[in-house]
């Protein structure tokens, strides 16, 4: 696994100023000044296009260059950090430290003085700064007036910026708002605190005393950004690779679902809104859940937006912005011969795998324990027959282990050339999530309807013989079944931690196929999911200090 030179310069270097108030944002490949923005519509387009480029580029956070960190590849890297804090992504290698996310699995070095927690803060606030720059430039450009066609385009770009910013703050709010755990006590003074708000009008001086805002204030800000995005986005734009009206409706559904769960109870109005927006996406997007053929396709499975009708929003990753090791495919595609995945042997926890009935095609996301079935035609493999033999038997690489992942295929089914195989489309939102949001929200409004929606989805799209949940299921039974189906559905996609945290669900890594060093168990939600604010922030922001930070969760979880 020879390391190549990064093909792009990093957007984020070590910041002297607060990460949440980075003075300059540098699009991939160059910079855009305010004078250029005023003079050129092309410059405005360059600014909005910098956001998706920075979200998936190898080394985009500067951590690869500064620390040799091979997990520095933007939002896919953040999503894998979240997956490794959960229970279902098993590391099965003889040497488990091929798993470069091991600190998150181990719950070690998660405090404010380490880079592991800083990555979340640094990346999201860099993207917020990019969105702020677009908003600050686009608003006066629109006020100056233009012909109708240009105005539609400018307003659509503005709407995208608001949508990006709302997405960033929604993720930050869910990651940093502390929730009660069994292992770590939450101090009363930080109840419902999220993160500081930095918008297009925030100055460097403002950032020097910028407190964490309360949950209600943060969600009001997010919802207002979504309103502005909805107001400005061109409804005729439907591409998956930029924010669209359907993506905004999806963010509304995510936000309102979170607001349905209050610290002391439930908010029916918010659940009604979550169900409403999830249903709007289902009814108006024209999107349909992945089929078995699309799910298991060895060439396009989970790597090509154009090969299915399910994806609402995602990234189109370019080989020009990727190196061999700092990519999602390198870490998650077991069939790719060049990356970490084939050495770390990532797969499903046996506890999860055993919970999937044979009648559910999603079980084909992982190799089963019966090796005789591997070449029986049950599974479809990327690449050539020779590639399949090397993958299964270990010629020049470790042989595949039972439960190893087949879900994420290298681009075009290319198992050897990383320039081709890394250049995937990466999914950030798909229609199936809206079905699950609707059923969860509806359960709180009408329990029988929530259960029926779950049954309908499973029987129509995943397993015609599904009958696991009883009609009169109580809330705890429903939550566990809902989460189980989401764990199967969204394994490896980076959205599950928010469900675990919201629903106060424990993790259990006792399955025999987890590497011994990673075996642990929590009693409730993990304290690790209350992400700690980086020391660089409260060293430059006097409104946040150690007493207003989330507690350090490091080494607080029971090791088995």
Token pair for 90: 């098993």
Q: Which long-range contacts (CB under 8 A, 24 or more apart) does 543-548 make?
A: 543/196, 543/209, 543/210, 543/211, 543/212, 544/196, 544/210, 544/211, 544/212, 546/112, 547/187, 547/189, 548/189, 548/190, 548/193, 548/211, 548/212
Cα 169–chain centre separation:
13
CA distance 117 to 112: 7
pLDDT for res 1: 34
C-alpha pair distances (Å), 407 with each of 6, 80, 186, 445: 27, 14, 37, 34
Cα-Cα-Cα-Cα torsion 413, 416, 417, 422, nearest 10 degrees, comes to 60
State pTM to two decimals. 0.94
pLDDT for res 5: 27
pLDDT for res 23: 42
- Using a 10 angstrom Cβ sphere, with 0-12 exposed, 13-18 middle and 19 or more buried, the burial of residue 157 is buried
Please answer whether residues 532 and 111 qualify as being in contact, where contact means their C-beta atoms are separated by less than 8 angstroms.
yes
State how beta strands 89-91 and 520-521 pair. unpaired
Please answer whether residues 107 and 528 qualify as being in contact, where contact means their C-beta atoms are separated by less than 8 angstroms.
yes
Neighbours of 143 (CB within 10 A): 7
Please answer whether residues 254 and 170 qualify as being in contact, where contact means their C-beta atoms are separated by less than 8 angstroms.
yes
Token pair for 448: 């029988």
CA distance 429 to 250: 8
* pLDDT means over runs of 10, the chain (560 residues): 31 38 38 42 80 96 96 98 98 95 97 96 97 94 89 95 98 98 97 98 95 98 98 96 98 99 96 98 98 98 98 96 96 97 97 98 98 96 97 94 98 98 98 99 98 98 96 95 98 98 97 95 97 95 96 94
Residue with tokens 């770009």: 157
CA distance 298 to 490: 18
3-state SS assignment for residue 76: helix
DSSP 282-325: HHHS---PPPHHHHH-TTTTTT-GGG-S-EEEEEE--GGG--SS
Residue with tokens 């060093």: 517
Cα-Cα-Cα-Cα torsion 247, 248, 252, 254, nearest 10 degrees, comes to 30
DSSP 498-516: HHHHHHT---B--STTS-G
């Amino acid at each position: 696994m020879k390391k190549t030179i990064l093909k792009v310069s990093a957007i984020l270097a070590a910041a002297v100023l607060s990460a949440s108030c980075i003075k300059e944002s540098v699009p991939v490949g160059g910079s855009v000044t305010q004078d250029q923005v005023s003079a050129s519509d092309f410059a405005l387009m360059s600014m909005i296009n910098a956001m998706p480029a920075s979200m998936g580029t190898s080394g985009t956070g500067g951590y690869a260059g500064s620390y040799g960190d091979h997990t520095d590849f933007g939002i896919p890297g953040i999503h894998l950090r979240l997956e490794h804090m959960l229970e279902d992504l098993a590391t099965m290698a003889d040497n488990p430290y091929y798993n470069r996310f091991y600190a998150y699995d181990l719950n070690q070095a998660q405090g404010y003085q380490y880079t592991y927690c800083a990555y979340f803060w640094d990346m999201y606030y860099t993207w917020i700064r990019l969105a702020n720059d677009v908003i600050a430039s686009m608003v006066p450009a629109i006020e100056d007036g233009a012909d109708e066609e240009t105005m539609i385009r400018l307003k659509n770009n503005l709407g995208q910026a608001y949508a990006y910013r709302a997405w960033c703050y929604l993720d930050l709010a869910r990651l940093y708002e502390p929730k009660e755990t069994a292992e770590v006590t939450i101090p009363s003074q930080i109840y419902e605190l999220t993160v500081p708000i930095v918008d297009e009008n925030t100055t460097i001086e403002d950032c020097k005393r910028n407190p964490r805002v309360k949950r209600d204030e943060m969600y009001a800000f997010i919802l207002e950004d979504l309103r502005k995005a909805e107001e400005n986005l061109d409804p005729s734009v439907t591409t998956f690779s930029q924010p669209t009206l359907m993506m905004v409706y999806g963010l509304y559904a995510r936000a309102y679902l979170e607001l349905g769960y209050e610290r002391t109870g439930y908010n029916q109005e918010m659940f009604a809104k979550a169900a409403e927006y999830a249903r709007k996406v289902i009814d108006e997007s024209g999107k349909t859940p992945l089929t078995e053929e699309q799910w298991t396709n060895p060439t396009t499975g989970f790597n090509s937006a154009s090969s299915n009708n399910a994806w609402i929003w995602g990234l189109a990753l370019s080989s020009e912005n990727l190196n061999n090791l700092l990519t999602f495919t390198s870490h998650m595609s077991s069939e790719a011969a060049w990356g970490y995945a084939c050495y770390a042997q990532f797969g499903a926890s046996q506890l999860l795998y055993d919970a999937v009935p044979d009648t559910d095609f999603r079980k084909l996301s992982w190799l089963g324990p019966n090796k005789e079935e591997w070449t029986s035609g049950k599974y479809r493999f990327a690449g050539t027959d020779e590639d399949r033999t090397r993958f299964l038997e270990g010629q020049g690489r470790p042989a595949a282990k039972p439960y190893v992942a087949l879900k994420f295929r290298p681009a075009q089914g290319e198992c050897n050339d990383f320039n081709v195989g890394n250049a995937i489309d990466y999914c950030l939102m798909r229609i199936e999530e809206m079905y699950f949001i609707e059923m969860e929200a509806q359960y709180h409004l009408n329990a029988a309807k929530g259960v029926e929606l779950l049954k309908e989805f499973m029987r129509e799209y995943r397993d015609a013989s599904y009958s696991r949940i009883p009609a009169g299921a109580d809330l705890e039974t429903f939550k566990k079944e809902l989460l189980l189906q989401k764990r199967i559905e969204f394994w490896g996609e980076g959205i599950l931690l928010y469900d675990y945290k919201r629903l106060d669900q424990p993790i259990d890594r006792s399955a025999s196929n987890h590497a011994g060093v990673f075996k642990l168990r929590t009693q409730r939600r993990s304290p690790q999911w209350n992400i700690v604010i980086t020391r660089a922030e409260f060293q430059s922001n006097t409104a946040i200090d150690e007493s207003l930070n989330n507690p350090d969760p490091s080494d607080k979880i029971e090791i088995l």
